[in-house]
Amino acid sequence: MAWLKDARAEGTVIGGVAASLLGRPRMTADLDLVVLVPEERWGAFVERGRRHGIAAAEDMIVMKSLALRPRDIADIESMLEAHPELDLERVRSTLRGLSELLEGPDHVAELDAIVRRTRRT
C-alpha cells in the first residue's frame, strides 16, 4: 500500500483477501486491488509502481502465458504492443523452465503464436 500512498492514489483490497478479512479465512493465490487514478496521472502512477516492486512486463507475460485464459491472452497482446522492447528471450527461457517443471503443454510455442499474431498487425 506504500505505492498507493506515494502516488496519492485511492485504492482498496478486493477479492479473496478481502473476503477472508470480512468473512471466513480462506486460501488465495493473489492479491486484487481496485485503484482510482485519473488518466493524466496514469504514467506517473505506473512509474512509482516500478519503484515499489511492481512486476516487469516480462514477468507478467510469463505468468499470463502459464494460464492462457482469453483475458490472459488479451493482456499478453496488450503488453506486447505497449512494450516493443521486451526481452522475449528472457520470457521464453523462464517460460521454458516453468513448463518443464509443470510437465504441461509447450507454453513457449503458445506464446510465440501470440507474438507472431500481435507483431504482424
The phi, psi pair for 33, rounded to 5°, reads -125, 150
The alpha carbon dihedral of 19, 39, 74, 63 has a sign of negative
User: Residue 119: which of 71, 66, 68, 83 has the closest Cα?
Assistant: 83
User: Residue 100: which of 73, 72, 66, 68 has the closest Cα?
Assistant: 66
Q: What does the longest C-alpha to C-alpha distance in the chain come to?
A: 48
> CA-to-CA distance for 21 and 31, rounded, in angstroms?
12
pLDDT at residue 109, as a whole number? 95
* Residues β-bridged to residue 32: 14
pLDDT at residue 111, as a whole number? 97
pLDDT at residue 121, as a whole number? 58
Do residues 118 and 80 make contact, with C-beta atoms less than 8 angstroms apart?
yes
pLDDT, tens digit (0-9, with 9 covering 90-100), for 34-51 = 999 998 998 888 888 888
Place of cell 507454453: 107
- Where the chain has pLDDT below 70, the residues are 121
> CA-to-CA distance for 90 and 3, rounded, in angstroms?
27
